[in-house]
Each structure stands twice: as C-alpha cells, then as structure tokens.
Structure 1
Amino acid sequence: MSNYYTSPRPHHASQFPLEASQLYKERLQNDAKYYIWDDPYLWRLCNDQVIRRCIPNTEINSVFRFCHAAPGGSHYGSTWTARKVLHCGFYWPTIFKDAYQFVSTCEKYQKAGVAISRRHEMPQQPILFCEVFDGWGINFMGPFRVSNGYSYILLAVDYVSRWVEAIATKTNDAKVVVDFLKSNIFCRFGVPKTLISDQGSHFCNKVMSSLLHKYGVVHQIATAYHPQTNSQTKVFNRQIKKTLQKMTNPS
C-alpha cells in the first residue's frame, strides 16, 4: 500500500515490479478503485464518500502546522487535529498516527492542552429543540486582562447545530446583552424559542425580560444546583479559555 500511495500515478497491471507477489498485485488493484489520478494530484474516495487530495510526505508537516498551530487550529489534541485535516480535504494513510507524533512535539499543547474530562465533555443528548437556532445558551467569560479596552467575552451557543457566536466586550451589563441578542442572534438567525442563561444580573433584569417578552422568547434559567441546564455554553467557555491561553501565553 505504501509503495502504491507514494507513487504519484496509480500502477497498471503491466507496470508492477517484477518481484511483486501476486498478493501484493491483488491488494493494489483492489485499493486502486478508491483512487483518482487528476494530473497533477492523486485523490482518494474515503469511507465517508468524500473525495480528498492525497498529500505526499513532503507536505505533511505544512498541513499539520496549518491545522494545529495556525490561529484556526488553536493547538488542540491529536484526534481533533487529524479530523481537521480530513475536514480540510486532505488524506494520507497514517493521519492519526502522524498527528499524535506531531502534537507530542508541540510545546504550547504540552503546557496547556489538557483534554476535557468525561465529566465536562459535550453532552450527547442535551435539552431537545425541534429546529436549528430554536434554543441558545448564553454566558459571559471574564474578566480577562484588559486588551484595547475589552475585558469580557459574551458567548452564545445554538443547542442543535452547536454554532457559536462570540464578541469581546468592555462591560458585562444588560445593555451589552440586549444589543448582542438583537444584532448577532435575532437579526441573523431569527428569533429563538428559548434562551438559556445563568442567574447573573446581566441576564435577569427588567430590560432583558422586556425584550424576551416582546419577541415571545422563553427565558430558561440555570440554577446553582443544576448548572447542567446551560452545559453546552460552559463547555465552549472552557474550550475558548484553553485556546486563548495557548495562543496568547508566550511562555
């Protein structure tokens, strides 16, 4: 397989090396049906029915640097990095093994890349909503060290698609929340059926109540004794904090 893959052009029956065994030829011919040669690239039809470009050994490190160390990569673990490589449309036979070796040499990941525990991982069956963007969880992060006057992050997560909207803010008050909901959620994704938040005063106040009542949005509040109500937002909070730590900590 490795000899077949590393060759830029698929073998034909008459091109097999003289020393090739019959088993090797049969395996090669069976694998060949998943590959497409479109000069100058070799492509593979993967198990998920997505056609991806085969990457030669000389380009592997460049792909990993983009998918792991670039701003969009955020120095996540090996499995996440390997899946991002596949998501970006690239393939080679040892992606997951090579991702593990690459990530193990990443200094930023080794210092801050602790995996999310089972206790804190994303729930597989959260609160059920009928349609995408029907229910959003919202939460503030911070305060952080002030940068250009901003010290908070306001984060909203759609419970069906897990789409995330986030902005940097200077304060964490009700006006910021109301403006965010109007500009970033209601106008772009439509008015949701449910908004989930904690009991913070920036979410539980007359201004918010008036806005949600006006648009017919049910406000579901996560209580201190059952914080799992807004669990998806909390998970993304941890992921974003880890990402910021890896991207901004120079040591």
Structure 2
Amino acid sequence: MNRGTLWYKNRICVPNVDSIRKLILSEAHDMAYSIHPGSTKMYYDLKERFWWYGMKRAVAEYVAICDTCQRVKAEHQRPAGLLQPLKVPEWKWEEITMDFIVGLPRTQKGYNSIWVVVDRLTKVAHFIPSAKLAEPYISVIVRLHGVPKRIIFDRGSRFTSRFWERLHNSLDTKLGFGTAYHPRTDGRTKELIDT
C-alpha cells in the first residue's frame, strides 16, 4: 500500500469500478497520442502500468467495438502477385469451375448444400444437391458432357482431398486451384451463386 494505492508487483491494481476502467481504456486507445493501437499492443502497453482481473478481455472488447478500428484494419499479408487471366477454352465443357452453396435448410433427403458446376465457355450451369462428390460428378457431368480437361475451384477441403486428386489423375483432368472469392478464377460460379 503506497499513499492509498494498491500495487500488484510494480503495477497499479485498478478497482472493479467500470468508470475508472473505461477511463483507462479510453486514455490508452482514443487519445491523440495513442492512435488506436490494436488490442495486443494496447494490452501490453497497459500491462506495464495497470492490473485488474480480466484486463486482457476488457481491452479486446473495447477495441472490438471501436468503429474506427473496424473500418481501418491493417493488412498483415504480403501483397498478392500480378493476376494471371485464364485462357478462353476452345470447346464447351472442356474447362469447368465449381463451388458450393452451403448453409441451406436440410431437405427430406438430407441435403443442405448445392454443388454448382459451370462450363467456362458457354456459362451453362448444373446445380446438384450434394452430399458426395464422385458419384454425381460421374453421373451428371461426365455422363452428359464428357471428362473435362481442366477444373478450376477454390481450395475448399472437399476439392483438395487425396481421393478427389486421384480421381482426376485417373481421368487425366488438370486441377486448377484458385483463391477463394477471387473473380478471376471462379467468378462466374460465385456470380451464379450470389444471384
């Protein structure tokens, strides 16, 4: 105890009074000299001088509701390289794109997602209720249109499985992985899903 202040090691123990804690959080976050630090930096800055039970959570919650911080999020990834547009296919159903519509209410047959397969040249699409991939792929796409030379899709776990890779190796189809939600790769499929 030092002049009425309770200390924990070399830090001030802040009482469980919301107005005092909010004032400390506001000073550490909103003032001109603090410039809206992220929750991690703000926590480590406060941790040097103050202590209270649940301080880390309080800091994270304070930063999470800050409108300025939500609008101006720093990008922590290296910039992507130049986009490489895809060649236009020479023949219909030679190259296809695929994606899923998920989160739908479950049907009587147990489906809660739709598999969307789009021809890149003609933009014709098949909407297949999905639970499994191989059987509908063979019975709908391959049966109606033949084996495509190339398939483009995002890196969803359904498409990156060993079984899916081996199936297409045996069919001599090249798999082209795009980036999720990237309009240059499977944009037509995303466009159809959004409509």
| TM-score with structure 2 setting the length | 0.53
Give the 5 Å matches for 1:84-163. Answer: 127-148=87-108, 149-163=110-124
- Match for 2:165: what amino acid? S
Please report how far the alpha carbon of residue 225 of structure 1 lies from its aligned counterpart in structure 2 after TM superposition.
8.1
Please report how far the alpha carbon of residue 147 of structure 1 lies from its aligned counterpart in structure 2 after TM superposition.
2.4
| Identical-residue share of aligned pairs (%) | 25
- Match for 2:158: what amino acid? H
Contact 1:134 1:193 in 2 (8 A): yes
Please report how far the alpha carbon of residue 227 of structure 1 lies from its aligned counterpart in structure 2 after TM superposition.
4.9
Give the 5 Å matches for 1:62-81. Answer: none
Q: Please, which of 156, 159, 165 is the counterpart of residue 126 of structure 2?
A: 165
Contact 2:151 2:176 in 1 (8 A): yes
The answer to which structure has the higher helix fraction is 1
- Any gaps of 5 or more consecutive residues in structure 2? 1-84
- Match for 1:210: what amino acid? R
Deviation above 3 Å: which 4+ runs of structure 1? 224-227
Contact 2:149 2:174 in 1 (8 A): yes
1:177 aligns with 2:137: no
- Any gaps of 5 or more consecutive residues in structure 1? 1-124, 240-251
Paired with 1:225 and 1:158, the residues of 2 have a C-alpha distance of: 18
Please report how far the alpha carbon of residue 180 of structure 1 lies from its aligned counterpart in structure 2 after TM superposition.
2.0
Cα-Cα RMSD: 1.8
Paired with 2:154 and 2:98, the residues of 1 have a C-alpha distance of: 8
| TM-score with structure 1 setting the length | 0.41
Q: From the superposition, tell whether residues 180 and 225 of structure 1 become closer, same or farther in structure 2 (CA, over 3 Å).
A: closer
Contact 1:127 1:159 in 2 (8 A): no
**How many equivalent residue pairs?**
110
